[in-house]
Copies of this chain bind each other. A is one copy, B any other.
Amino acid sequence: MSNKYVYLFNEGSKEMKELLGGKGANLAEMTLVGLPVPPGFTISTKACNDYYLHGKSLTSEMEQQIDEALKTLENTTGKRLGGEEYPLLVSVRSGSVISMPGMMDTVLTLGLNDTTVDVIAHLTDNPRFAYDSYRRFIQMFSDVVLGLEHYLFEQVIDERKKDNQVYEDTELTAEDWKAVVEEYKKIVLSKTKKPFPQEPKKQLEMAIRAVFDSWNNQRAIVYRKINKIPDHLGTAVNIQMMVFGNMGDDSGTGVAFTRNPSTGEAALYGEYLMNAQGEDVVAGIRTPKSIDTLKNVNTEVFQQFLAITKQLEQHYKDMQDIEFTIEKGKLYFLQTRTGKRTAQSAVKIAVDLHREEVIDRDTALLRVDPDQLNQLLHRQIDTTVDFHVLAKGLPASPGAASGYIVFDANDAEKKHLDGDKVILVRPETTPEDIHGIVAAEGILTSRGGMTSHAAVVARGMGKACITGCEALKIDLKKKEIYLENGSLLKEGDTISIDGSTGNVMLGEVKLIDPELSEEFQVLLEWADEVREIGVRANADTPEDAAKSREFGATGIGLCRTEHMFMAADRVPTVQEMILAENNEERETALAKLLPMQQGDFKGILKAMAGYPVTIRLLDPPLHEFLPNVEDLIVELTKMKVEDASIQEIREKEKLLRKIRNLSEFNPMLGHRGCRLGITFPEIYAMQAEAIFNATIELAEEGIEVEPEIMIPLVGHVNELKLMKDLVIQIAENVKERTNRDFNYTVGTMIEVPRAALTADEIAEHAEFFSFGTNDLTQTTFGFSRDDAEGKFLQYYLDHKILSDNPFVTIDQDGVGKLIKMGTELGRKTKPELKVGICGEHGGEKHSIEFVYKAGLNYVSCSPFRVPIAILAAAQATVNNKGQSL
């Protein structure tokens, strides 16, 4: 046998995940550990790939191995597929290497047909259960395998309930289900022109194909794209003996987490329903009960369950997400996997597990995805301010959000693309709604529990989510929500939701800064001890400086002085400076700006005292500070048509002419950065003087600071040399005037390719380099970010021309190559050269790992990303030690 495609559960282990998929490997592992797992076998991911290789067909080798495994299963269970004595019923489930919850297809109770249904009815002495199972099976098989729409079948049940004047499925009898089955079979015959397949082996083969096919259904492809899961992994198929949670009141089914996935609390957490199938819990159709109450239903089972979950957590060394079924009082484990969790929970679980000595510190650091921390750092609803709570649901995913109500995933996406913030409101969500969840600020559902689709997906994405908010009566057709209190919400109304409390509020609600948990602080302390590169903040105000310091930044990597120029009260003076007719006029305006800048710098240097502060001299083109040309044209045209005075028109024309003179074809590549400093040295001179004056004022207050002055947009060593000489000259002047000494350094941004290519020359005159990766990405790709993101970048990402947005994650092959080259060349000239990055990439985990490996000294990012960067920096160290667990 050249290929082994099929593995019995007792042939595998958790190490075989790549081949058996997550679910298959876990079932094998659980079997190995000795858990009560219903027996079965796994068709490998290799079979899936070979299935596609052979033009979507099962090879005879596969078919033969499936037959053999089935025979073994039949022997083990003493049941036969389609057997008239003891019929074997199986589940057929997908199971990919990386979990994709709800994305692919599953068929349950396979093996039922017109004959076996009666055998089961007889064996269980429960015809109602048998026919209910059979109708469920036909419905699911029709949906998943035959591609018939769900509603066709739901209509049949609705009509029958109407006829019987009952409201719940549970009120329907065995005879009802038997009749439903007949109707279902008619639907299948009418829609597919073939009778519902009665041969169980045929059913099995069709189901296996359907699972393989589901690897490439639309929602799975979207999910993989969002979660960056490679397309070539494929899915395994798990065939497992069915056990039934719906065999009466001594049966049940549920899901549980070994710790709280929302808070991280070290206590069993979960939900179950008695006399129900697993899908009833997950789909959120019935609202389930808390796992704690199980002990009142069946103490023995509950104790057994508790003991096994503890064993599982010790075995897997992480919080587990478990599916279980109780069949006539016997407990079965259907699945266990590492549980998804909120950021808060991830932090607490990681810290707790290390404290419990289950994992080492490095592993604890790796357990939290830095991106997740974002949730904890973003603002939450200010509970000290009054707000009107409309309704309350389950706190399914923490964080707060406000937005317009939309009722449809497509609308959510459309509005989002228009720049609107929306809250997606649905009775419940399904995998088809993924794109709407991506687009929305938050999700609100009227049905479903904490483990419903909406809840799981939202937590994974770090979006605010409230589920099971039953007070909302949603009319999808009218696009309205009726509240219990009689009020009415319409599409377009603004609401706020708080996923941490479950509160739904009218209008936009005030948000406040989050408080960081003790575990969060501990995790950051550990990260600080481990990380080998510095984390600074990009901060332009004393407030931002203080905030980033609080978050753990040990310096400012980028203080943008233009933001200070843009303050409304300064713009007139800045315009005066720009529109100056001569040097004298310009110097007069600059003299007015000097004390303002001096105050700015003093505040920032003081807030960051003890740590380095890199101040970038003026960077943007001057026309950014001037009125808009198009507005002026409109005004001028009006004046002309309306016969304004020649004098007024002349004045306006003069202003327009000046602005036009300053306007540029490609401002990003124009007269900005050091090019301004070179052609208008008086501007940089003023800024340098303001910095040095502030330094001296602070020294007089007993605060020693050492500013790092950064020259932007240098492409040729001579540019830096000239500007450095100017700064030195100003420093000497200030020293002489004040008769005081102070320290400072001068360095440069590396943000055009030429700077990186000639970094050896540039380093001769630079005491530090800071890679401005935003501009460096723009120039290296030849992408204007403003234009690319609106015009073609999304297309590039959707069509996988680029795997990542290079403005989010450093493009290692291109931009990264320049960063490495620039660093190496710079250090060749000056081995002690301090090198950092200060683009937006400075707060992104993949970029931080790259920067660490490239040997840079620090990253600098926005204040709210500082903790993320600290954790990512620590992970970079750990990952590159190869010490993960």
Q: Is the CB of A792 within 8 A of B634?
A: no
**Chain B positions within 8 Å of A311 at CB level:** none
**Measured between alpha carbons, how far is A779 from B788 in the docked complex, in Å?**
15
**Chain B positions within 8 Å of A882 at CB level:** none
Assuming the contacts A715-B782, A754-B780, A780-B779, asked whether A788 and B670 have C-beta atoms less than 8 A apart, the reply is: yes
| Chain B, residue nearest A796 (CB) | B678
**Measured between alpha carbons, how far is A633 from B637 in the docked complex, in Å?**
9
**Measured between alpha carbons, how far is A237 from B397 in the docked complex, in Å?**
88
Interface hits, A798-852 → B, CB 8 Å:
799-802, 811, 813-815, 817-818
Most chain B CB within a 10 A radius of its CB, from A666, A716, A799: A666
**Measured between alpha carbons, how far is A675 from B790 in the docked complex, in Å?**
13
Q: Is the CB of B669 within 8 A of A753?
A: no
**Chain B positions within 8 Å of A54 at CB level:** none
Q: Is the CB of B666 within 8 A of A813?
A: no
| Chain B, residue nearest A778 (CB) | B669
Q: Could you tell me the distance in whole angstroms from the C-beta of A591 to the nearest C-beta in chain B? A: 24
**Chain B positions within 8 Å of A675 at CB level:** 791-792
Q: Could you tell me the distance in whole angstroms from the C-beta of A439 to the nearest C-beta in chain B? A: 21
Q: Is the CB of B664 within 8 A of A787?
A: yes
Assuming the contacts A641-B641, A678-B795, asked whether A802 and B718 have C-beta atoms less than 8 A apart, the reply is: yes
**Chain B positions within 8 Å of A722 at CB level:** 799, 801
Q: Does A151 belong to the interface (CB within 8 Å)? A: no
**Which of these, B669, B799, B800, contacts A668 with CB under 8 Å?**
B669
Interface hits, A621-672 → B, CB 8 Å:
629-630, 633-634, 637-638, 641-642, 664-671
**Chain B positions within 8 Å of A642 at CB level:** 641
Q: Could you tell me the distance in whole angstroms from the C-beta of A676 to the nearest C-beta in chain B? A: 8
**Which of these, B637, B761, B775, contacts A813 with CB under 8 Å?**
B761
Q: Is the CB of B637 within 8 A of A814?
A: no
Interface code A757-798, partner B: CB below 8 Å = 1, 0 otherwise?
110010000000000000100111111101110011001100
Q: Is the CB of A754 within 8 A of B775?
A: no
| Chain B, residue nearest A665 (CB) | B786
**Measured between alpha carbons, how far is A826 from B195 in the docked complex, in Å?**
61
Q: Is the CB of B802 within 8 A of A664?
A: no
**Measured between alpha carbons, how far is A678 from B801 in the docked complex, in Å?**
10
Assuming the contacts A679-B795, A781-B754, A782-B779, asked whether A787 and B637 have C-beta atoms less than 8 A apart, the reply is: no
| Chain B, residue nearest A813 (CB) | B758
Q: Is the CB of A751 within 8 A of B792?
A: no
Assuming the contacts A633-B633, A801-B718, asked whether A753 and B778 have C-beta atoms less than 8 A apart, the reply is: no
| Chain B, residue nearest A787 (CB) | B670
Q: Is the CB of A665 within 8 A of B667?
A: yes
Interface code A730-767, partner B: CB below 8 Å = 1, 0 otherwise?
00000000000000000000011110011001000000
Q: Does A713 belong to the interface (CB within 8 Å)? A: yes
**Chain B positions within 8 Å of A753 at CB level:** 753, 779-780, 782, 814, 818
Q: Does A411 belong to the interface (CB within 8 Å)? A: no
**Chain B positions within 8 Å of A716 at CB level:** 781, 801-802, 814
Q: Does A50 belong to the interface (CB within 8 Å)? A: no
Q: Is the CB of B664 within 8 A of A791?
A: yes
Q: Could you tell me the distance in whole angstroms from the C-beta of A791 to the nearest C-beta in chain B? A: 4
| Chain B, residue nearest A663 (CB) | B787
Q: Does A532 belong to the interface (CB within 8 Å)? A: no
**Measured between alpha carbons, how far is A752 from B780 in the docked complex, in Å?**
6
Q: Could you tell me the distance in whole angstroms from the C-beta of A356 to the nearest C-beta in chain B? A: 47
**Chain B positions within 8 Å of A802 at CB level:** 716, 718
Q: Is the CB of B665 within 8 A of A754?
A: no
Q: Is the CB of B665 within 8 A of A781?
A: no
**Chain B positions within 8 Å of A665 at CB level:** 667-668, 784, 786-787
**Chain B positions within 8 Å of A519 at CB level:** none
**Measured between alpha carbons, how far is A775 from B783 in the docked complex, in Å?**
12
Q: Is the CB of A782 within 8 A of B751?
A: yes
**Chain B positions within 8 Å of A633 at CB level:** 630, 633-634, 637
**Which of these, B641, B784, B800, contacts A666 with CB under 8 Å?**
B784
Q: Could you tell me the distance in whole angstroms from the C-beta of A773 to the nearest C-beta in chain B? A: 13
**Measured between alpha carbons, how far is A647 from B847 in the docked complex, in Å?**
53
| Chain B, residue nearest A662 (CB) | B791
Main secondary structure of the interface of A (DSSP, over half): helix
Assuming the contacts A792-B678, A801-B718, asked whether A757 and B782 have C-beta atoms less than 8 A apart, the reply is: no
Q: Could you tell me the distance in whole angstroms from the C-beta of A584 to the nearest C-beta in chain B? A: 20
| Chain B, residue nearest A666 (CB) | B784
Q: Does A528 belong to the interface (CB within 8 Å)? A: no
Q: Could you tell me the distance in whole angstroms from the C-beta of A674 to the nearest C-beta in chain B? A: 10
Q: Is the CB of A780 within 8 A of B757?
A: yes
Q: Does A360 belong to the interface (CB within 8 Å)? A: no
Q: Does A371 belong to the interface (CB within 8 Å)? A: no
**Measured between alpha carbons, how far is A505 from B629 in the docked complex, in Å?**
44
Q: Does A249 belong to the interface (CB within 8 Å)? A: no
Q: Is the CB of B814 within 8 A of A784?
A: no
Q: Could you tell me the distance in whole angstroms from the C-beta of A643 to the nearest C-beta in chain B? A: 11
**Measured between alpha carbons, how far is A629 from B631 in the docked complex, in Å?**
12
**Chain B positions within 8 Å of A800 at CB level:** 718
Interface hits, A695-730 → B, CB 8 Å:
713, 715-716, 718-719, 722
| Chain B, residue nearest A811 (CB) | B754
Q: Is the CB of B782 within 8 A of A669?
A: yes
| Chain B, residue nearest A630 (CB) | B633
**Measured between alpha carbons, how far is A666 from B663 in the docked complex, in Å?**
12
Assuming the contacts A633-B634, A716-B801, A796-B678, asked whether A791 and B757 have C-beta atoms less than 8 A apart, the reply is: no
**Chain B positions within 8 Å of A761 at CB level:** 813
**Chain B positions within 8 Å of A715 at CB level:** 780-783, 814
**Chain B positions within 8 Å of A752 at CB level:** 780-782
**Chain B positions within 8 Å of A718 at CB level:** 800-802
**Measured between alpha carbons, how far is A761 from B778 in the docked complex, in Å?**
20
Q: Is the CB of B754 within 8 A of A814?
A: yes
**Measured between alpha carbons, how far is A754 from B814 in the docked complex, in Å?**
5
| Chain B, residue nearest A670 (CB) | B787
Q: Could you tell me the distance in whole angstroms from the C-beta of A599 to the nearest C-beta in chain B? A: 31
Q: Could you tell me the distance in whole angstroms from the C-beta of A858 to the nearest C-beta in chain B? A: 24
**Chain B positions within 8 Å of A666 at CB level:** 666-669, 784, 786-787
**Chain B positions within 8 Å of A634 at CB level:** 633, 637
Assuming the contacts A638-B641, A715-B814, A791-B664, asked whether A669 and B754 have C-beta atoms less than 8 A apart, the reply is: no
**Chain B positions within 8 Å of A637 at CB level:** 633-634, 637-638, 641
**Measured between alpha carbons, how far is A678 from B788 in the docked complex, in Å?**
13
Assuming the contacts A642-B641, A801-B716, asked whether A791 and B670 have C-beta atoms less than 8 A apart, the reply is: yes
**Chain B positions within 8 Å of A775 at CB level:** 782
**Chain B positions within 8 Å of A782 at CB level:** 668-669, 713, 715, 751-754, 775, 779
Given A671-B791, A751-B782, A779-B780, 17 new contacts (CB under 8 A): A634-B637, A664-B787, A665-B668, A665-B787, A666-B669, A675-B791, A678-B792, A679-B791, A679-B795, A716-B781, A716-B801, A753-B814, A754-B813, A754-B815, A757-B818, A779-B779, A779-B782
The list of the 7 closest CB pairs from A to B, nearest first, reads: A752-B782, A666-B784, A669-B784, A754-B814, A670-B787, A671-B791, A637-B637
Interface residues of A (CB under 8 A from B): 629-630, 633-634, 637-638, 641-642, 664-671, 675, 678-679, 713, 715-716, 718-719, 722, 751-754, 757-758, 761, 775, 778-784, 786-788, 791-792, 795-796, 799-802, 811, 813-815, 817-818
Interface CB pairs A-B, < 8 A, 18: A630-B630, A637-B641, A664-B791, A665-B667, A665-B786, A666-B668, A671-B791, A679-B792, A715-B781, A715-B783, A716-B781, A752-B780, A752-B782, A753-B780, A754-B781, A757-B818, A761-B813, A779-B782
